[in-house]
Structure 1
């Protein structure tokens, strides 16, 4: 494994850091909390201009065609700044599913527009009580002549009000993975939006599909083939979320170290007390370990190696590291760390949110266990409440 960054990767890192410093400061993060759209216009415009919205989209479809390792370098910086917006939902997950689905017509129509930031397509996949596996998809797509009727409820749809279209996972048969992907206009009749509140104050929606009528041409790829495409996109996506978490954890630790130098008690900085110093030493070790595991997973994918085990390991460890480091940071700050005046609570709340979304710890542990015990990488379906 060679993790020495290339000149291009260093340039991508520096460009993203500068962009976020200018357009995704803490003031922007705060302004986007519980915002109905959740998309900073200036940040989005800059990501359009720099081409970052097409980072994983193939060059043949107007993207940059970057490797997962290139993108991990970028996502570390996005995580450091807690950059808000639908860039992951649209340009990584929806675009990734379209690529893996292999539907040339939909790829030609949507991928260039997604890469240019002209179309925002967010996935609608999670439902209540079913977990993260295929059994959790129960929203039905019933054939109706030359159309389908979508009926059911989706939860935790990020940035739904920013979207022009939705990529909906719907059940089209009785088999375990008889699931198809559909492109649905965000303003379709019968589609109802209800904003959900979360501990991270990010932008999520509950969507109710009340006999939403769509043409058969709205289906992406072959019938019943949607889950395989979605699952492949998820394997790649969680590596970049792990990079986001590693970047956030690193920045949270920096904030805490600086606070421990500035805050004095009993005539000396609190960082001089051994108990607190050891907390931060342990956190530094965890952050470095998370970052290394993330980069190993990204490198393996870029080198054409399997990531069935590495991807869930990276997300599991990095998200836990982010949560543990920010919990320690709250302790070092004391009671004031929980107040809205201090920035560390922004990191703490997002760390826990990330741990629960896009495959939570329990599901990731199941995936790792399956890979370790039988080498299959298969999910162990164990439904629980979402």
Structure 2
């Protein structure tokens, strides 16, 4: 197993870092917190021109046909820059789901526009009391006429206000565990959006589906038995979020080390104090181990080897490592790190918030126990 970046991935990382350093400074991230759309139009236009939304999409659908590791490298840099906007919701959540389960006609209809940055889409999965996964869904799609009527409430749907299409995950079919993914236009009657207030000030929404009618052609893959292919799509999205968290953690480490070098106390930089050195070393260990586990799981995906257990381990570890790393970064900074005028919160806020999303630690460990045939804790 070789986890070193290839030449093309090294070039991709360098180009992404240079672009984001120039076009996505912390001041822009703060500006987008209060912007109604949360989308910097010119930055998104250039991102689309560079082909980022279609980085893993096959060429026949307008993409660059890159590898899954290419996507992780890119998201690592996106996390390091705290890039606002709909990249994750559109390119990862929606894009990977369409790639995994869409019919040839659906891919031809949706993916070229997505790759060009013209189509915004998002995944409506989480429900009140249900974070991730496909068990316990209450949103239901009942057969109605020539299609389905969807009823239920979804929460923490990212960038729903920008999305033209939502990929709504709902119970469907006669079996209790039947699951379908439905292409629902946000303009359809019965779809209502309500913004949610979050610590990150990002664009998360509650979406209510009140008897929303969709045709049979809007069932992703043309059938309601989506569990088999949706699980892998969600697993890849989970790893993608790990990469974004690692990037944010790397920037928090850089800020902590820089601050330890210039903050003088007791007549010398605090970085010369052993306790502060330990904090920085432990912070680096957290981020580097999370990076290793994330890229190992990504390598397994790319090689076509069994990867689900490694993905669950990676997300569980990255969650806890990033929470500890965030605390250490704030300890190095002291009171300065808690002010919104300082950049640190842009990264530590994401590290801790993302630890609760797309697979919290307890959920990952429960899933891992099921995979290994172990008995869960009560």
Q: Normalising by structure 2, report the TM-score.
A: 0.95
1:102 shift after superposition: 4.2
Secondary structure of residue in 2 paired with 1:135 = coil
In structure 1, the residue matched to 2:122 is 122
Checking the alignment, whether the CA contact within 8 Å between 2:97 and 2:230 is kept in structure 1 is yes
In structure 1, the residue matched to 2:197 is 197
Change (3 A) 1:185 1:173: same
Separation of aligned partners in 2, 1:144 and 1:122: 24
2:111 maps to 1:72: no
1:77 shift after superposition: 0.8
Separation of aligned partners in 1, 2:34 and 2:152: 25
Equivalent pairs counted in the alignment come to 378
Structure 1 residues 38-77: aligned runs within 5 Å: 38-77=38-77
Secondary structure of residue in 2 paired with 1:136 = coil
In structure 1, the residue matched to 2:262 is 262
In structure 1, the residue matched to 2:172 is 172
Describe the superposition over 1:9-55 as per-residue Cα deviations: whole angstroms up to 9, x where unpaired: 11111111112112211111111225432222122111111001101
Secondary structure of residue in 1 paired with 2:208 = strand
2:350 maps to 1:350: yes
1:166 shift after superposition: 0.7
Separation of aligned partners in 1, 2:293 and 2:26: 28
Secondary structure of residue in 1 paired with 2:252 = helix
Separation of aligned partners in 2, 1:331 and 1:25: 24
Change (3 A) 1:307 1:172: same
Describe the superposition over 1:78-116 as per-residue Cα deviations: whole angstroms up to 9, x where unpaired: 111111111111112212111221411111100111111
Q: Normalising by structure 1, report the TM-score.
A: 0.93
Checking the alignment, whether the CA contact within 8 Å between 2:248 and 2:348 is kept in structure 1 is no
In structure 1, the residue matched to 2:280 is 280
CA RMSD of aligned residues (A): 1.9
Separation of aligned partners in 1, 2:198 and 2:151: 25
Change (3 A) 1:144 1:50: same
2:12 maps to 1:12: yes
In structure 2, the residue matched to 1:252 is 252
In structure 2, the residue matched to 1:109 is 109
1:131 shift after superposition: 4.3
Checking the alignment, whether the CA contact within 8 Å between 1:179 and 1:223 is kept in structure 2 is no
Unpaired segments ≥5 residues, structure 2: none
Change (3 A) 1:345 1:9: same
Checking the alignment, whether the CA contact within 8 Å between 1:133 and 1:381 is kept in structure 2 is no
Unpaired segments ≥5 residues, structure 1: none
Checking the alignment, whether the CA contact within 8 Å between 2:283 and 2:329 is kept in structure 1 is no
Separation of aligned partners in 1, 2:173 and 2:16: 43
Checking the alignment, whether the CA contact within 8 Å between 1:35 and 1:202 is kept in structure 2 is no
Change (3 A) 1:148 1:371: closer
Separation of aligned partners in 1, 2:156 and 2:36: 14
In structure 2, the residue matched to 1:186 is 186
Secondary structure of residue in 1 paired with 2:135 = helix
Separation of aligned partners in 1, 2:162 and 2:297: 31
Checking the alignment, whether the CA contact within 8 Å between 1:262 and 1:269 is kept in structure 2 is yes
